Chains A and B, each alone.
Chain A
Amino acid sequence: DIQMSQSPSSVSASVGDRVTITCRASQGISSWLAWYQQKPGKAPKLLIYAASSLQSGVPSRFSGSGSGTDFTLTISSLQPEDFATYYCQQANSFPPTFGQGTKVEIK
């Protein structure tokens, strides 16, 4: 299985801050990476697919980059509704695997 490792596990930030979350794959996955946002009691929501493609309806303050083993999710200006947990997921090979999550908390 490909292991996905996210850092940090949590981050405290203020509204307006730029937030960056990193995801590292245990082996190369080209650009087969997705990012999800999950709020308490809700299902995950797809934000980014193919490492850098913004899912329809997702605000442009979210962006993704990277290829191979190292990927980044950036929120350019944190909004109140962005406080949530974020997961990466590799879609390169079976089984699909998720990172352990990064919780973005209010500072």
Chain B
Amino acid sequence: QITLKESGPTLVKPTQTLTLTCTFSGFSLSTSGVGVGWIRQPPGKALEWLALIYWDDDKRYSPSLKSRLTITKDTSKNQVVLTMTNMDPVDTATYYCAHRAVGGDFIYWGQGALVTVSS
């Protein structure tokens, strides 16, 4: 059974750096083809893909946010960490991590973590 869960602060101040951790079970991020991605959703709005890390440490980022994002993995802990710098109120959203299938779709998702950016 594959599960993922996001953890991190619920409130950050403008200009601060957000660090979110995705802790997963039921699969290994050292298995060929496996990836874990981050997707966010502002309240009442659509989904937006942010970043992805593969089993081989290949990393991909949203072009519009690339300068602010870093994704890393700790295979031994079954964790993926996303950092986003210079947070702004427009970054207020629910942040999801998800298991990415070889075909490119996201089969398994975490429950999501609501992050509010406010002073």
A binds B: yes
Query: How many A residues, CB 8 Å from partner?
Result: 24
11 other A-B residue contacts (CB within 8 Å) besides A32-B104, A98-B48: A34-B106, A43-B96, A43-B112, A49-B103, A87-B47, A89-B47, A89-B105, A94-B52, A95-B60, A95-B61, A98-B46
- Chain A residues whose CB sits within 8 angstroms of the CB of B48 once the complex forms: 98
Closest to A93 in B: B104
Please judge, given known A-B contacts A43-B96, A49-B101, whether A98 and B107 are in contact too, CB under 8 Å.
Answer: no
In angstroms, how far is the closest chain B Cβ from the Cβ of A49?
4
- Chain A residues whose CB sits within 8 angstroms of the CB of B98 once the complex forms: 43
B46 touches A87 (CB 8 A): yes
Residue ranges of A at the interface with B (Cβ–Cβ < 8 Å)? 1, 32, 34, 36, 42-46, 49-50, 55, 87, 89, 91-92, 94-101
- Chain B residues whose CB sits within 8 angstroms of the CB of A50 once the complex forms: 103
- Chain A residues whose CB sits within 8 angstroms of the CB of B26 once the complex forms: none
- Chain A residues whose CB sits within 8 angstroms of the CB of B101 once the complex forms: 49
- Chain B interface residue number, banded: 20 to 34
Q: Mark B82-119, 1 if CB is under 8 A from A, else 0.
A: 00000000000000101001011111011110000000
Partner of A98, one of B49, B52, B112: B49
CA distance A43 to B103 in the complex (A): 20
* 7 A-B pairs whose Cβ atoms sit less than 8 Å apart in the complex: A1-B63, A36-B47, A42-B111, A45-B109, A89-B47, A95-B61, A101-B47
The 8 closest A-B pairs by CB, nearest first: A91-B104, A43-B109, A34-B105, A98-B47, A49-B105, A96-B49, A100-B46, A46-B107
CA distance A89 to B49 in the complex (A): 10
B10 on the A face (CB < 8 A): no
